[in-house]
Each structure stands twice: as structure tokens, then as C-alpha cells.
Structure 1
Amino acid sequence: MPRFKDFRPAGVIPATLLALNHDLSIDERQTRKHLRDCALVDGVSAVTVNGHASEVHACSFDEQRQILAASLAEVGDKVPLISGIYADGSIEAARLAKMAEHEGASCLLVFPPNSMSMGGQLRPEMALAHYSRIADATDLPIIAFQYPMASGLGYTFDTLLKLFESVPTIAAIKDWSNDVMLHEKHVRTFQGLPRPVNVLTTHSSWLMASLTLGCNGLLSGSGSVIADLQVALFGAVQAGDLRLAQAINDRIVPLSQAFYASPFLDMHNRMKEALVLLGRLDKAVVRPPLVKITDEEVALIGKALEQAGIRREGAMPMAA
């Protein structure tokens, strides 16, 4: 059963990383520490596991259950846990959803099936079938992960409206439409529906601009490193304090440019390296086909951390 009943996804939600040993097994001790580092930041409303940031593509069903169970044991009494549902088949997605509810997750983040990439946008009934099967397996609230339309995995605006009507447990979208006009249309329309659907931005490379459009929250992998700055930025935007928001954003920008540089797929790899530099993880190991980034790029991440004014754990505070 969910630990936090009637949870509604909103506010600042970090997507957490997965610590691995050198033999590529899960380092549960370090993963639990990382969960605490993210979940216990004042102002964080929930944390996400089994998402892109935790390399869900390379984790088995049993490993995903292990990650969720360990996360719940560590921080589940303090914040709601959102568990990703990443599967190419709807039957497996429903099995993951039922497992997540049984373990105690409070919400699901449903990824689009890669099996829809070759024309699924022309068959909206496929998305409806996928979400309906998941909703039949659990009553947990759902966050629909909206990809860019150019990826072949994004849902059209009309398909999203049909999903919201057909699957009332969809409470939010994680918006990665990567299209400013469409993103604003999502914010203005979905949050104003008779049964509102929150827009949680994941446009972390232009976070301030996205939040100013009126998003009711953010769900971001970079929150694994800068949850405190994201909380501060979200609060400043919500308060209408433009100068403060700009000042916070000035600290975030060097890191967003480092994390989300090309190739984009290395973003969470880079975040692990940042946590090592900060003394929050003891190693940055990723599972193939991801591979370790170069020493030169690690040095650039270190420079970005300095520009952001983020110090290594135990370091002397910076002079005012």
C-alpha cells in the first residue's frame, strides 16, 4: 500500500541516481545515502526512483524492486516515493506497477514504450491501451512522461487529452516536449481542466524559463545534485521574485550546460561524476552501454561546480 495516500505530484521532485559497484552490481549503501541527500532537502516534495537517472533501462525487474524497497526503507516515511514504469510491453508495465504499489510507492512515472517509436503517434489507441492496462493493475496516481514529438514517442496534444479523460488516475505529466509553444499550451490547458493535470517540467537545460510559464512543479535528474537550488528557484518563481530567481539561475546555468551537453545520453553519467567531486558518492560507475566520461570532461564539471558555488562536503564555506 502507498505510504502517502492521496499524494498529488507537484513541487520539486528530484530523480535520483543509482550507485553501482565496480563489478556493476548495485551499491545499496551508497544508493541509500544518495536517497537521503536528495529526499531530506528542505522543500523537496517527493523523490523518483527507477527512472532514466537510475539507469532503469539496464535494471531487471528484481533489481527495480530492490531499489524501490531499499529507497522506501531509507526515506519512505519522510517523503513520497515515485517509481518509474519502464517497459516496452504493456503486460510487463502492469506487472511493474502492481509491484510498485505492493512495495509502498505513492505514485508511478510511466515512460512511453519504445515499441511505439515507429508510428505509434498515428495510433493513439496504443497509448490508451498501455495506460489503461497499467491503471487496471493499480489505483496509484500516474505521471505521464511526455517525450519530444520528434523522438517518435511523444503523444499529440489531442492524445494526451484523451488519456486524461480515459484514465482518471493520471495526475500529472512530466513534460519534456522540448517545444516552448507546446509546453506553454500544456501548462495553460492541462492545469485548467475540470480535473486539473499538473505539468511538471523536466526542461532542466532551461529550467527558469520553463517554470515562469506556470508549471506546478519540476521532475529533474539534475535534482540529484542541486535539489536545494531547484527548491530555491521554484520558490522564487512562485513568489514572483524575478531578481532572486535570476540570481539562483545564474548558479544553475553552468551546471545545466555541463550536464546537458552533447551527447545528451551522458547527462546522468556526468551527474555521478559531480557527486564524486562533491564527496557525496565514492565512485562513478555506469552500466554498459553507458561508459565513463573522459578526465577532461570531469574537469569541466568541476569548473561548473565552482562557478555554481557548490563546495565539496567538509570543505570550508566560501567567503561572502
Structure 2
Amino acid sequence: MPSSNYLPHGVVPAVLMPFDPEMRIDEAAYRQHVRDCAETEGVTALTINGHAAEVHALSFDEQQRALDLTMDVVGQRTPIICGIYSESTRHAQQLARMAAAGGAACLLAFPPNVLMFHGADRPQLFIDYYKALADATDLPIILFQFPKWTNLQLSLDTLIEVCERVPRIVAIKDLCSDPALHETQVRRLHALSRPIRVMTTHSSWLLGSLPLGVEGIISGAGSVIPNLQVALFDAFQSNDLARARQIGDRIYAAVQAFYERPYIDWQARMKEALVALGRLENPAVRPPLQSTGDPARLQHWLDQAGLTPETVYATVS
């Protein structure tokens, strides 16, 4: 099986999945979106088949097609992290093998949603799932750490145990949504005999997350504002707090456009933003998701963020 020594770092947009009016994958629009993200200066990799791409509504064949289209656009120039989202361990292994055969550099492993029924009371279920996924390929794995309210969050002890017992896990994508726990996880994972990287996806409070020592950002917001995320990450890397605050103000406005309540609308809002910015023709999301139909609100926050057809994806001066 193909193998990879990829280690996640820097800014990694999680790309969207455009659909045509009949709700089929719009392949031309997807190619252009992937190109826009991959060619943004400072982007180090892309994540596909994740929440941003509405993976819950994509068939196996569509996920495979997404990988094929992505690789056709970026070739070997940009590492691809492929989401593994399934209710079934066996199906997750099939997805992992597909990702490896298709050229992915890494897997982003979502825990099965069935474990929300207090699966945390049986930590071995999580351990066995990630071990089985690791057995399927030689690719490195990023473990997705969820907020506590989802009932899919690993306790700190279980998280440490999984990372120690599954050597293919090289990083976590942290959405714990608890600043104190976020810092503790960074410190504990970095202190292991085999240190584990932390990629933040706390898009709504990157100014608080990045100084804690994370190695980068994996975020659906990066499908629209990767240039701002790159500028913010670089500012912290160079200890330029004044610039970080300046960029942080723009990011704050952008994430209001995406993540204000109802939170469930965030994929639709990002697509609607790209339509407003001239980068996408159709903002359709697959049901049960729905378009928001609130262009005035969206435009207000895009203006506050300084996002225009000329500045979107452009290097931030």
C-alpha cells in the first residue's frame, strides 16, 4: 500500500463541495475551488471529504471522485488530507484504502457518530476503531477531537491512550471548544515520548488558540479566508502581536459571517460568501442543509472583513 511521512503543519483549508442545480457534484466548480485554495500563498495542504465538503451527504463513489479531481488539480504539489467519515469500522477501512490508493498523504479520522450514545463510557471502542483504521493503510492519521456537547469527545486519559497505542496517529484536529482543555491537550500531547501535533480548528478564536503552541490550522473557514489564516499564523510565528491583532480583527468579522447562530448554516454561508465574492456560481447545499437567504447580513460581515473579489485568496499585505 502507498505510504507517507507527511506531518501536518501550517494552514490547511478544508475545502467545500460545490453542487449544480440538480445537486450533482459540479466538477468544474470544484476544480476551481481546489485551485483557489491550493494556490493561496502559504497554504501547506488541503483537507477534502470533511465537514466542509458535506461529507455526510457524499456517497463512497462521490468521495472517490472528489479525491480523483483533487489530485488531478494539485498533483504532487500539495499534500491531501482525506477525511474518513463513517458509521462503520469496516466501511471506514474501505475509505482509508481508497484514500491511500488515490494518492492522499494523510487521513483525518472522524469518530463514528454512533459513539455519541455515551461511547466515552467504553473507551476501548474508540481505541479499537482507530487501531482498525491504522491497520488498513500505512498513511498517518489525524484524530478529530470533538466538543464535549457532541458526546464524541475523548477524555484526556483516553486521548493519550489512543495516541500512545496507535503509532500512525501523528496529530489531532482539536475542536474541544474549551480553552483550558485545549491548552492542556497541547501540553500533554507535546510531552509524550512520541510527541503528537495539535492542529487547531477553533476558527472562532484563533487569536486565543495559536499562541498555545499548535502546529497549524485545519478549518472549513480556510476554504474562504486561507490568506487571512496564513497571515495570522505567520504573525504569531514571528511574534508580531500587533499584526496578529490587526489580522485577527478581519478574521473576527469573517467568522461572524460564517458561524453566528444558527451554527448549522455555516457550509451554506461559506458558499454564499464565495458567490458574493465571484468565486462560485451556485451556493446549493444538499438537504437536510438549506441555503440561508440573508445576503444583507452576509455582505455586512464581508465588508467588515475587507473581503472583496479582489482580496479573496490574495496575499495579505
TM-score (norm 2): 0.96
Tell me by how many angstroms 1:313 deviates.
4.4
Q: Secondary structure at the match of 2:224?
A: helix
Q: What does 1:146-295 correspond to in 2, within 5 Å?
A: 146-294=145-293
CA distance in 1, matches of 2:295, 2:125: 42
Q: Deviations over 1:4-27 (max 9, x none)?
A: 931101111000000100000000
CA distance in 2, matches of 1:298, 1:173: 35
Tell whether the 8 Å contact from 1:81 to 1:107 is kept in structure 2 after alignment. Answer: yes
CA distance in 2, matches of 1:156, 1:97: 25
Q: Which moved more, 1:21-30 or 1:185-194?
A: 185-194
The residue aligned with 1:308 is 305
Tell me by how many angstroms 1:108 deviates.
0.4
CA distance in 2, matches of 1:175, 1:123: 21
The residue aligned with 2:44 is 45
Tell whether the 8 Å contact from 1:255 to 1:301 is kept in structure 2 after alignment. Answer: no
CA distance in 1, matches of 2:264, 2:311: 31
Aligned residues: 314
CA distance in 1, matches of 2:5, 2:127: 24
CA distance in 2, matches of 1:245, 1:17: 26
The letter of the residue matching 1:69 is D
Tell me by how many angstroms 1:136 deviates.
0.6
CA distance in 2, matches of 1:206, 1:298: 24
The letter of the residue matching 1:254 is A
The letter of the residue matching 1:311 is T
CA distance in 1, matches of 2:262, 2:142: 26
Tell whether the 8 Å contact from 1:280 to 1:313 is kept in structure 2 after alignment. Answer: no
Give the number of the structure with larger relative contact order, counting CA–CA contacts within 8 Å between residues 6 or more apart: 2
Tell me by how many angstroms 1:314 deviates.
9.3
Q: Deviations over 1:251-282 (max 9, x none)?
A: 11111112111111111110000000111111
1:64 matched to 2:59: no
Tell whether the 8 Å contact from 2:4 to 2:140 is kept in structure 1 after alignment. Answer: no
Q: Deviations over 1:134-186 (max 9, x none)?
A: 11100101000000122101111111111111110101100000011100001
Gaps of 5+ in 2: none
Tell me by how many angstroms 1:104 deviates.
0.5
Q: Secondary structure at the match of 1:257?
A: helix
CA distance in 1, matches of 2:75, 2:271: 23
Tell whether the 8 Å contact from 1:270 to 1:298 is kept in structure 2 after alignment. Answer: no
Q: Which moved more, 1:306-315 or 1:138-147?
A: 306-315
Tell whether the 8 Å contact from 2:67 to 2:102 is kept in structure 1 after alignment. Answer: yes
1:15 matched to 2:25: no
The letter of the residue matching 2:292 is I
Which segments of structure 1 move beyond 6 Å, counting only runs of 4 or more? none
Tell me by how many angstroms 1:112 deviates.
1.1
The residue aligned with 2:109 is 110
CA distance in 1, matches of 2:46, 2:311: 25
Tell me by how many angstroms 1:192 deviates.
2.6
Percent identity over the alignment is 49
Tell me by how many angstroms 1:312 deviates.
1.5
Q: Secondary structure at the match of 1:84?
A: strand
CA distance in 2, matches of 1:238, 1:52: 28
Tell me by how many angstroms 1:239 deviates.
1.2
Gaps of 5+ in 1: none
The letter of the residue matching 2:306 is G
The residue aligned with 1:84 is 83
CA distance in 2, matches of 1:212, 1:298: 34
The residue aligned with 1:131 is 130
Q: Secondary structure at the match of 1:306?
A: helix
Q: Deviations over 1:48-80 (max 9, x none)?
A: 000000000000000000001100110132110
Q: CA RMSD in A?
A: 1.6
Tell whether the 8 Å contact from 2:109 to 2:143 is kept in structure 1 after alignment. Answer: yes
CA distance in 1, matches of 2:53, 2:287: 13
